[in-house]
Structure 1
Amino acid sequence: MVTRITGLASGIDIDQWVSDLMKAERTRVDTWYQKKQILEWQQEDYRNINTKLLALRNATFDLKLQGSFQSKTVTSSDTNVLTASAGTSAVAGTYTVKVNSLASGVYKSSTDALPDEQGTSGTKTLAQQFGLSGTVTFTLEGTVNGEAVSKDFSFDTSTANIYTVVSEINNANIGLKASYDSTLNRFFLMTASTGSSSELHVKADAENFLTGSLKLNVTVGADEANAYHGTDAEIDFNDLTGLKFSSNQFTVAGITFNLKSTSASAVTVSVANDTEAVIDKIKAWVNAYNDAVGLMFTELNEERYRDYQPLTDDQKKEMKDSDIEKWEAKARSGLLKGDSLLYGVYSRVRSTTMARVEGLSTTYNNLSAIGITTGSYQEGGKLYIDESKLRQALTADPEGVMNLFTTSSDTESYEGLAVRLYDELTNSMKLITDKAGSSTSYYDNSSIGREIGRINTTIDQMEDRLSDMEDRYYRQFEAMEQAIQRMNQQSMWLAMQFGGYSQQQQ
């Protein structure tokens, strides 16, 4: 970088002169900056379209799944006795359920309040709370996955407290759980599961810690006769009687029951196809379709204002923010107008969606047959739903509507609409990504990304040349300043000489 000297000798505003000279040279660089900005705007527009296509693909994926069309609603005639839900495999119909008994586990608690576990200095030890000394031991047995599991416990009464006992039992993984209620001052011991296979067995209690100190009403002994077992839930389901389950929640014929109480008479459970849930998914898909198609149609037909080029930094400095916003709105308008890639995606998405599905055994072989039609061309071909017609089709032939969307085939014309549209969207999104890249990618190797990279290289080279040129201008002005300075010095010397000679003559 040269030393820059202002026009002290010449009186010229050198910075302004250089700035004016560089403006003409910078025009070419500004053109490249504008090309880069247009490409960045195009890239952003493409990526916005891909975002809409992704949302459409996600909604389309829902309609590819048969489960989306097989959801069920379940009603119980007495929710105080039981509630139920149904999976996709459940058959619509009416079922009767009589609850003869509920599943239960084993619960044992202190028969009387225990001494307070809290003292003036915090939680008491077992020795302090119960007046014990030495070590207390006992053996418990429970069941895990139907298998008996036992463990010996030992506690030093001078250091352990009641919460130590609770923690040790809960962490033993023997199918038993313990707790202590400090408000009631009672100890609770119970099975972790329900059903006849659940077991609570106190096999040994040498110091009578459980039965004496904790006041649990249990019999003690290694013999299995001393074990306590839970009970199974028992129901009559339609004409099947005496069905037993280890839990109050279980599944029969694809229906999951949640028992709450026994019943003197049968409860009616009705299973029906959830038509409204299917309609909601189709609505969500249509909305996503209209968003994607609407954006593509707008981009393809948006007016292009070629006289409005991206503003340079110098131009922005001379404009109000509101004027900049209006200018740039027109500058970036219509950048994808008539774009061949986008038009191809737009056309294929529309034609795929509105196609006929061959080989179906019902009349529901296209969208219009179930009440989904396309709007006018001026709207870009958006879809509209006749809900009454769609609901009628789902009620009359839910399987036929499902097949319209979900049928798989090696032949494209026989594939369901959602199946073939999902594949088309995947391919279209890849084409756009190849063209404009993805905002989530660390490295942009798209065609627009590579072009922007080439422009950046050109701009860097031109900026280097402009910097060199600016330095050259300043060197030239510096040389001029130095020459003028020398001339001024010579002029002053001559003036002094002539002044001295004149005085000698006098």
Structure 2
Amino acid sequence: MTSIYASSTNASSSTSGANLLRISGMASGIDTDAVVKSMVSNYQSKIDKANQAKQTLQWQQESYRGIISSIKGLQDYFDPLSSKYMLSGNSFNTNGVTNPNSSIATGASNSAAMPGTYTVNVQKLAEQAKVEGTSQDSMVKVTTLSNWTGGQTLKFNLDADGAGTGVAKDVDITGLTGSTPAELVASINSKIAVSDLNGKMSASYVSDSTGNYIKFMKSDSTANITLKNSGIGGTTVSEVSSADDLVINSGISSASKLSDLGITGSFSLSYDAATNTSPKIIDTTSVSTIKDLMDKVNSATGGEVTMSIDDTTGKISFQSKDYGSTSTIKIGEVDGATHTIMSKLGLAGAVPVVVGTVTTNTITIAGKDALVDITAPGQTTPTTTTQNSNKFTINGVAYSLVSKGSASITVTSNSDTVVSNMKKFIEDYNSIVSTINTKLTEKKDKNYAPLTDAQRTSMSADQITTWETKAKVGILRKDDNLTNLMTQLRGTLYSPVYSSYNSADATTGKVSLKFGTYGTGAIGIDTSTDYSDGGKLVITDEKKLKDAIENNMGDFKKMFIGASSTDLDTTKPYVGSAKYNEDGIFSRMDNIMRDYVASPGLGKDGTYSLSGYMNIFVNKQYDFGTSGTSGKNTLSDQVYNKTLSISKFQTQLNDASTRYYAKFTALEKAMNKLNTQQSSLSSMLGTSS
């Protein structure tokens, strides 16, 4: 008897997800794996289709993000932080300025300035409030050099031990010569060098805004030296004889201690009229330096008042930060002090001031306003203006005053810069139009779908890249979001711009300029007549564009960067609203792009998801549930939904495979049992296969 057992040369076994032992074709001769694979092919087909759909969605996200990133680049023109920013008046400034008298006054201009020559006569400069003391050094003013030469005498009194206990003696410096200050100082020092004053003092020449001086400086700290105020027989320098005796010191600088000036108390400081009733209290000690006091003053007033010392002249001063008559410094001694601090600082003119029960010895001084005569182009009579600063702007011209005198400032108009900026914008805008128009119109080749895993295994990397490049074509064809965006952007160009919009009478209130090539007010910018360009912008008449810029800048700015003061009804669309109609073209584009891709600067890589309709549609996932039904159908939700479907189909495939393998395993066991019985029967009958 012939046996019904048939062996399989490719018998194999495998384990299912349930660890079921799979016996493949050992008894039946059936290629179980191939049969099961065929039986579950409908599930695999569902998985492949879901994976392909998911891949298409991910490619759409990728393509969208590229477009969003490009739009974000165009938004740089509407970003105040960008160098391309065009929503300010300065971006439309056609004016240049010539300043031939920059040592007296200079000017800068914006687009509001009238071209022409401005004559500026600076009568007075604005000044800071400043309290300046007299020198704390040992100085004598030189009014006339000849008063010091020609045999004149300087009489000094010297107490050599510095304790006041030694024998004081007079030292005369006679026979002074010199035709220049430097020669006079050299003469004095040469006479000192051969006298009892040698090594104990020296002289130098100092000049500042208040005059010329001979400065005497003690170099021996143990010596007491006094310049006497009278000579013998009229031979004493006349400019000395009119002064009190002058004690020679070692010079005052920021490093000097306050005790060197004889100051041990406190004083108050008030730096403007608003704080006169609440003066700042500055505490001092004898060991504090002038630099310490300067730092305290500067800190206490928050920089509104600066204290300084000229180390050359030994003059202490207080100066306000602000200019003009409204800037005031008030310096006073705290009540109860000896009222000598002001004089020790070299500050003269203090008067007693009583505030409540407090009396202060006070100096008050205000700044000064600038007084300027300005004759603008077309004027024959100057306009006199008072300003509290040396920098101010009038009618678009920013003036900077430097010194007294007359100056001319010439403002010229040149439209080339604005035209150049418009060309750059048009180039970048057209790039966006080209990109989006290509995506909207390219046709998909149905022969190129996303590859399945099985297809990828049989292809090289280059073949996969070539295939997928073709498969990505047309995935955004006729996309609603991109179509609506382009429709709205084109609409910004041809909807009239109004200075004031009245929906009941839309024929009035329009600015005098319009988009286009022909007709009254046309600015020479239009859309391409080539339909395939998809609405690209072209400059059709550069002369008209320049004329509009140079001769009608006011309406040109309104047309492009005008910003409506009308509030938007948030329950209604922006496009078509009163605000939309009163906004300029660039302002409209800015608002529309914000609606689609969020504010300028946010999410330049295209992955931002918190605002902007297109950003949210592409990137935001709302659905995180297990059913895939709680989202808002964004692309991220759709990708998530496909991921759930793939997981579900994979589970179904695994379950079906397990069932089928179980049945074939049972069949194999039955066949083995039957074959065993057959073999036993054959043995009993004495037959063999």
Q: With structure 2 as the length reference, what TM-score do the two structures score?
A: 0.55
1:378 aligns with 2:532: yes
**Hey, what does 2:515 align to over in structure 1?**
366
For 1:141, the aligned partner's letter is S
Query: Contact between 2:22 and 2:661, CA under 8 Å: does it hold in 1?
Result: no
CA deviation after TM superposition for structure 1 residue 323, in Å: 2.6
Cα offsets for 1:200-235 (capped at 9, x unmatched)? 4442285899779xx843227344784344333222
Q: Which consecutive unaligned segments of at least 5 residues does structure 2 have?
A: 1-16, 80-84, 138-250, 354-361, 376-380, 498-506, 565-575, 598-610, 623-630, 681-689
Residues 168 and 348 of structure 1: is their aligned pair in 2 closer, same or farther, counting only changes over 3 Å? Answer: closer
Distance of 2:289 and 2:657 partners within structure 1 = 85
Query: Contact between 1:433 and 1:446, CA under 8 Å: does it hold in 2?
Result: no
**Hey, what does 2:102 align to over in structure 1?**
79
Bigger shift: residues 25-34 or 440-449:
440-449
For 2:407, the aligned partner's letter is V
For 1:460, the aligned partner's letter is S
Secondary structure, counterpart of 2:271 in structure 1? strand
Query: Contact between 2:253 and 2:309, CA under 8 Å: does it hold in 1?
Result: no
RMSD: 5.2
Bigger shift: residues 62-71 or 458-467:
62-71
CA deviation after TM superposition for structure 1 residue 35, in Å: 1.0
**Hey, what does 2:8 align to over in structure 1?**
none
CA deviation after TM superposition for structure 1 residue 185, in Å: 11
Residue number among 257, 278, 296 corresponding to 2:399 in the alignment: 257
**Hey, what does 1:33 align to over in structure 2?**
51
Residues 31 and 218 of structure 1: is their aligned pair in 2 closer, same or farther, counting only changes over 3 Å? Answer: same
Bigger shift: residues 331-340 or 5-14:
5-14
* Bigger proportion of residues as helix: 1
Distance of 1:337 and 1:453 partners within structure 2 = 23
CA deviation after TM superposition for structure 1 residue 279, in Å: 2.3
Secondary structure, counterpart of 1:83 in structure 2? strand
Residue number among 406, 426, 430 corresponding to 1:286 in the alignment: 426
**Hey, what does 1:461 align to over in structure 2?**
648
Secondary structure, counterpart of 1:437 in structure 2? helix
**Hey, what does 2:282 align to over in structure 1?**
153
Larger Rg: 2
Secondary structure, counterpart of 1:77 in structure 2? coil
Distance of 1:449 and 1:367 partners within structure 2 = 41
Residues 134 and 3 of structure 1: is their aligned pair in 2 closer, same or farther, counting only changes over 3 Å? Answer: farther
For 1:259, the aligned partner's letter is L
Distance of 1:193 and 1:363 partners within structure 2 = 44
Residue number among 237, 241, 245 corresponding to 2:374 in the alignment: 237
Distance of 1:412 and 1:211 partners within structure 2 = 63
Residue number among 552, 557, 561 corresponding to 1:397 in the alignment: 552
For 1:437, the aligned partner's letter is I
Query: Contact between 1:146 and 1:198, CA under 8 Å: does it hold in 2?
Result: no
Query: Contact between 2:261 and 2:345, CA under 8 Å: does it hold in 1?
Result: no
Correspondence list, 1:245-394, <5 A? 245-263=387-405, 266-273=406-413, 275-339=415-479, 342-343=482-483, 345-347=485-487, 349-350=489-490, 353-354=493-494, 364-368=513-517, 369-375=522-528, 376-385=530-539, 386-394=541-549
Secondary structure, counterpart of 1:267 in structure 2? strand
Distance of 1:82 and 1:268 partners within structure 2 = 8
For 1:204, the aligned partner's letter is E
Residues 480 and 332 of structure 1: is their aligned pair in 2 closer, same or farther, counting only changes over 3 Å? Answer: same
**Hey, what does 2:19 align to over in structure 1?**
3
Cα offsets for 1:174-208 (capped at 9, x unmatched)? 74224689999997643222234434444228589
Query: Contact between 1:134 and 1:156, CA under 8 Å: does it hold in 2?
Result: yes
Distance of 1:343 and 1:242 partners within structure 2 = 59
Distance of 2:661 and 2:538 partners within structure 1 = 69
Query: Contact between 2:253 and 2:311, CA under 8 Å: does it hold in 1?
Result: no
Aligned pair count reads 476
**Hey, what does 1:42 align to over in structure 2?**
60
For 2:436, the aligned partner's letter is M
Distance of 1:400 and 1:228 partners within structure 2 = 49
Residues 28 and 226 of structure 1: is their aligned pair in 2 closer, same or farther, counting only changes over 3 Å? Answer: closer
Residues 414 and 473 of structure 1: is their aligned pair in 2 closer, same or farther, counting only changes over 3 Å? Answer: closer
Bigger shift: residues 191-200 or 50-59:
50-59
CA deviation after TM superposition for structure 1 residue 32, in Å: 0.7
Q: Which consecutive unaligned segments of at least 5 residues does structure 1 have?
A: 118-125, 495-506
Distance of 1:473 and 1:414 partners within structure 2 = 70
**Hey, what does 2:585 align to over in structure 1?**
418
**Hey, what does 1:203 align to over in structure 2?**
332
Distance of 2:53 and 2:435 partners within structure 1 = 24
For 1:243, the aligned partner's letter is T
Cα offsets for 1:328-385 (capped at 9, x unmatched)? 1111101123446644554554465356776688984332232223332233332222
CA deviation after TM superposition for structure 1 residue 255, in Å: 2.5
Secondary structure, counterpart of 2:45 in structure 1? helix
Distance of 1:4 and 1:161 partners within structure 2 = 95
Task: Report % sequence identity.
Answer: 25
Distance of 1:36 and 1:308 partners within structure 2 = 15
Residues 10 and 413 of structure 1: is their aligned pair in 2 closer, same or farther, counting only changes over 3 Å? Answer: closer
Residues 414 and 447 of structure 1: is their aligned pair in 2 closer, same or farther, counting only changes over 3 Å? Answer: closer
Query: Contact between 1:348 and 1:424, CA under 8 Å: does it hold in 2?
Result: no
